[in-house]
Chain A
Amino acid sequence: MSGIIEVDNLTFGYTPRNTVLRDISFAVMPGEFLAIAGPNGAGKTTLLNLLCRTLTPKSGTIRIDSGAVESYGAGALAEKMAVVRQEFVPIFGFSVIETVMMARTRYFGAMGFESKADREIVNRALDVTDTSRFASRPLASLSAGERQRVFIARAIAQDTAILLLDEPTNFLDLKHQVAIFDLLKSAQLNENKTLVAVTHDINLAAQYCDRTLLLGTDGSYRHGQPGEILSAEQIEKVFGVPVFAGQVGRGRFFIPLGKFAKDAEQATNATDGAPQQ
């Protein structure tokens, strides 16, 4: 079975000399949830921008649904994948439903208006993401968590097989982080979406994703199931901080330990594969 996203020997740098990503190869299977994790500066967002063709690789190939990504026109690519970006500045106060409806821009009629089918798709996306309650409110009046749901709703309304997300839980509190990942998981399972999410949060990645791509700042990377990839040593190596690894039921979790953290000493003693002083 071939992946819906296939990346082969991808290399990229912002200047001719520096290289952010080197020789990266991986595939995302249809219906899979991939987390791209790693420290700041490892190139997570860069990789996402390469996947959606905002950036062009130095070398290597990216294939989306078995076509080279650069062979798609702007519109054709938008039929394959939707992108939820991290930074968003709402200007001119569009409402929630207007924002979500924009996903259908490509399908508008000759006069520039949506069809009945578009409305149904948008209504469903609002329902699925639980945003119909505030559909007529302006984006600017929403909390960060609500706004993130709206953009996920827009991505769902775009009706694509693939969803790319850049740090979907940035700036969100615990409850909303979990809510967003629950929403993504349900989109994966119920809508049969393929998800690629960039995240700092290795715990959420471990709990929700089928596969993890762990990028290091030195150009190294590992790709595989969270259970294989995410271990105390591995995280310590990549993130450069000692961690405490614990287990609750089947779920593994990691807690970073600063030098002066209250429990640093104890936890160090309690952990197997403890960080070396």
Chain B
Amino acid sequence: MPDASDRSFFQIEQMAELLTPNKLAVRIALGLFVLGAVMFLCSLIGTESVSLKAVFAGGAKAPAVNPDYEIFVRVRIPRIVLGAIVGAALACSGVVFQALLRNPLADPYILGISSGAGLGAMIAVISGLTWTLFGRSPIAVFAFAGALGTVWLVWLIGRLTGKFHLTGLLLAGVVVNAFFSAVIMFLTSIAEAEQVYATMFWLMGNMMEEDFVVLWTAGGCVVAGTVALFYLGPQLNALSFGEEDARSIGVNTGRTRAAAFAIAAFMTAVAVSISGLIGFVGLIVPHGVRLVLGPDHRQLLPLSAIVGAIFLVVADTIARIIVAPAQLPVGVVTAIIGGPFFLLLLVRYSRSVGWLK
């Protein structure tokens, strides 16, 4: 018969399995450190070699130019920061959509954001608008509006199908996606070749150097969104067990779902409006982090954001240099390196330790 001291020893062991604030803080700090290191390293890599010494010498006074500084500060850094912002937004909202839809196949685009953004971009290109809003081109503005509008439409349709509208929501997303894709096809067939090319290029997902204003606003949105979602973490954990179950342990499921859904959709729309459609990040990063660290959303959300940022920065660096001086669309790279990497994780972890570490 085990005596009492034995048992309490075991219980300390078990309690170690639970996520603690300290453990989480250490992991986040570690993740941020790696992210910083990766961003720094990637900023050194490129078709032009940049001397850090020259960069630190600062911008030269006109008319002389310090090319190293110009490339590093005005081209590399903004693009790398952009990659981090977009990667974090997609991975984080991927986690939310998987949890809300209780579907491991869900990604940020599943509820029509992709086709809505695409349609918005197409309309902007065809109508030949040239104004800018907050330094954004009409394509970005229309894509943002199209993405949010579509998600809102899907949410409304989903609500019509009933109180527990998971399947209804998913089906509404599929149908709206299909419908808008058809409209895009139609517009493509009547548009001029040049316009079609512009849209397609945008749709493939691309990183362009952006103003610092854009980076600050987008970055602010994504960080705020991630923090807000972190606070919904315990509720999202409960929702993973189903709506009724979550409610019976006292979670206000309606409010949680609406808030998480709105934040995730907004973050995705921000990402899409600055970089087009970049696939795979929002699907595999959440799964990868979950496989290694477990399904607790309090940890999954911030760490997926960090890992997503790292992943996209690396993928974009590869896209920049692999076929230099040309550039690959980063979406191609995320799929090509993300797919096999994810399979590796899946086999490694699901065999030896099950779903949980």
Contact residues of A with B, CB < 8 Å? 52, 54, 73-75, 77-79, 81-83, 85, 88-95, 97-99, 101-103, 105-106, 108, 111-114, 119, 123, 126, 132, 135-136, 138, 140-141, 154, 158
Is B21 a contact of A113 with CB atoms below 8 Å?
yes
Is B250 a contact of A112 with CB atoms below 8 Å?
no
Closest to B244 in A: A54
Assembly CA distance A154 to B298 (angstroms): 20
Chain A CB count within 10 A is highest, among B14, B99, B251, B252, for: B14
Closest to A107 in B: B250
B242 within 8 A of A: yes
Query: B356 contacts which chain A residues (CB < 8 A)?
Result: 93-95, 138
Q: A132 with B237: in contact, given A82-B249, A91-B102, A93-B354 (CB under 8 Å)?
A: no
Is A105 a contact of B250 with CB atoms below 8 Å?
yes
B235 within 8 A of A: yes
Query: A81 contacts which chain B residues (CB < 8 A)?
Result: 248
Query: B354 contacts which chain A residues (CB < 8 A)?
Result: 93, 138, 140-141
Closest to A102 in B: B238
Query: A73 contacts which chain B residues (CB < 8 A)?
Result: 252
Is B240 a contact of A92 with CB atoms below 8 Å?
yes
Q: A98 with B18: in contact, given A85-B245, A93-B356, A138-B355 (CB under 8 Å)?
A: yes
Is B294 a contact of A93 with CB atoms below 8 Å?
yes
Contact with A along B235-261 (1 / 0, CB 8 A): 101101110110111111100000000
Is A92 a contact of B14 with CB atoms below 8 Å?
no
Give the shortest distance, in Å, between A12 (CB) and chain B (any CB). Answer: 16
Q: Which of A92, A108, A126, A141 contacts B234 (CB 8 A)?
A: A108
Is A112 a contact of B248 with CB atoms below 8 Å?
no
Is B237 a contact of A97 with CB atoms below 8 Å?
no
Is A136 a contact of B248 with CB atoms below 8 Å?
no
Assembly CA distance A73 to B238 (angstroms): 17
Q: A123 with B355: in contact, given A85-B244, A95-B294 (CB under 8 Å)?
A: no
Q: What's the dominant secondary structure at chain A's contact region?
A: mixed
Q: Which 10 A-B pairs have the closest CB atoms?
A: A93-B355, A78-B250, A92-B295, A106-B250, A83-B248, A135-B14, A138-B356, A136-B17, A75-B250, A93-B356
Contact residues of B with A, CB < 8 Å? 7, 10-11, 13-15, 17-21, 99, 102, 104, 230-231, 233-235, 237-238, 240-242, 244-245, 247-253, 290, 294-296, 298, 354-356
Assembly CA distance A154 to B249 (angstroms): 9
Is A97 a contact of B250 with CB atoms below 8 Å?
no
Is A95 a contact of B234 with CB atoms below 8 Å?
no
Query: B355 contacts which chain A residues (CB < 8 A)?
Result: 92-93, 138, 140
Q: A105 with B235: in contact, given A88-B241, A95-B294, A140-B355 (CB under 8 Å)?
A: yes
Q: Which of A91, A93, A103, A113 contacts B20 (CB 8 A)?
A: A113
Assembly CA distance A99 to B264 (angstroms): 25
Closest to A164 in B: B248
Q: A112 with B298: in contact, given A79-B250, A89-B242, A106-B250 (CB under 8 Å)?
A: yes
Give the shortest distance, in Å, between B233 (CB) and chain A (any CB). Answer: 5
Closest to A158 in B: B249
Give the shortest distance, in Å, between B346 (CB) and chain A (any CB). Answer: 13
Give the shortest distance, in Å, between B91 (CB) and chain A (any CB). Answer: 16
Is B240 a contact of A94 with CB atoms below 8 Å?
yes
Q: Which of A91, A97, A105, A111 contacts B238 (CB 8 A)?
A: A105
Is B235 a contact of A92 with CB atoms below 8 Å?
no
Assembly CA distance A85 to B250 (angstroms): 15
Is B244 a contact of A106 with CB atoms below 8 Å?
no
Is A74 a contact of B11 with CB atoms below 8 Å?
no
Q: List 7 A-B contacts (CB under 8 A).
A: A73-B252, A75-B252, A85-B248, A93-B354, A93-B355, A94-B237, A102-B234
Q: A77 with B250: in contact, given A97-B14, A98-B18, A135-B17 (CB under 8 Å)?
A: yes
Assembly CA distance A85 to B249 (angstroms): 12
Query: A154 contacts which chain B residues (CB < 8 A)?
Result: 249
Assembly CA distance A111 to B28 (angstroms): 15
Give the shortest distance, in Å, between A242 (CB) and chain B (any CB). Answer: 37
Is B240 a contact of A91 with CB atoms below 8 Å?
yes
